[in-house]
Structure 1
């Protein structure tokens, strides 16, 4: 069957300042190795991105249900964006875990600082359901917002 319904996600692209540093971070975080690194550029790639010119070093990391593309722009020279979690168009990437405490320990052992201590959703948080779901937030070395979730109720996929 032809998939034209936007019901599957292939990858998320994350622009990074230093590809080698990002590869090390995401390989440590996920326990997976990148499948390849390469370079792409030229007028056709620039055109599809809406740019005048482009040269991108990139790496692909395959997870069970989504791929992560790490992109280091060489041309045009990149600028740094900074988003707070509440800003419109800010996004984050969330990793699903079974045990929030084990995952937090792994992050801390790797030297990754959490934005705040993890919480487990309770009725007092205002949710109608999903109690018992645990979340924690942190950033990658370039400030990309990341989350871990141990989902329950409506947050859990079938």
Structure 2
């Protein structure tokens, strides 16, 4: 099957998550997703630093390939990283949302790897002020470095077009 060339921004390739310790982060994300990283490597040098707006850089990284998105797990060796902390309501805060078919099974997986949701998971109902999407379940949690993560069992307009 021939792949259509995309010149716009209609397809995502990866999300990068900067972590304190690459080995620990690999353990977490492999346990969370059930997927093994495809490679572990290092990248750096003047050209990489320049493209990132840095003076110098050395990055240890791993790639995790999900069905529809790749996750780059990045440990900056140089320059030494600063710790950021974002709540979901802060401007420029981002989160990564994992789509699941069974919310209860996903919550059990979190519990099995020692992760507790930020609050009680919810299922959207009419009183939540939505026009549609009733039955969509969501829960928020964090990785060991404080990255905001979400799980969603989508219904209605929260489902992708090819899944409706």
Q: What TM-score range do you get, normalising by the shorter chain?
A: over 0.9
Residue 83 of structure 2 corresponds to which residue in structure 1? 80
Residue 110 of structure 1 corresponds to which residue in structure 2? 113
Residue 48 of structure 1 corresponds to which residue in structure 2? 51
> 1: distance between equivalents of 2:61 and 2:33?
17
> 1: distance between equivalents of 2:19 and 2:149?
14
Say if 2:26 is the partner of 1:23. Answer: yes
Say if 2:159 is the partner of 1:145. Answer: no
Partner of residue 132 from structure 1, selected from 129, 135, 142: 135
Cα displacement (A) at 1:2: 2.9
Q: Which runs of 4+ in 1 moved over 4 A?
A: none
Report the secondary structure of 1:143's partner residue.
Answer: coil
> 2: distance between equivalents of 1:59 and 1:122?
39
Say if 2:6 is the partner of 1:6. Answer: no
> 2: distance between equivalents of 1:54 and 1:83?
24
Cα displacement (A) at 1:23: 0.2
The normalised TM-score by structure 2 is 0.95
> 1: distance between equivalents of 2:59 and 2:112?
32
**Which ranges in structure 1 are unaligned for 5 or more consecutive residues?**
none
**Which ranges in structure 2 are unaligned for 5 or more consecutive residues?**
none
The count of residues paired between Structure 1 and Structure 2 equals 158
Partner of residue 125 from structure 2, selected from 115, 122, 127: 122
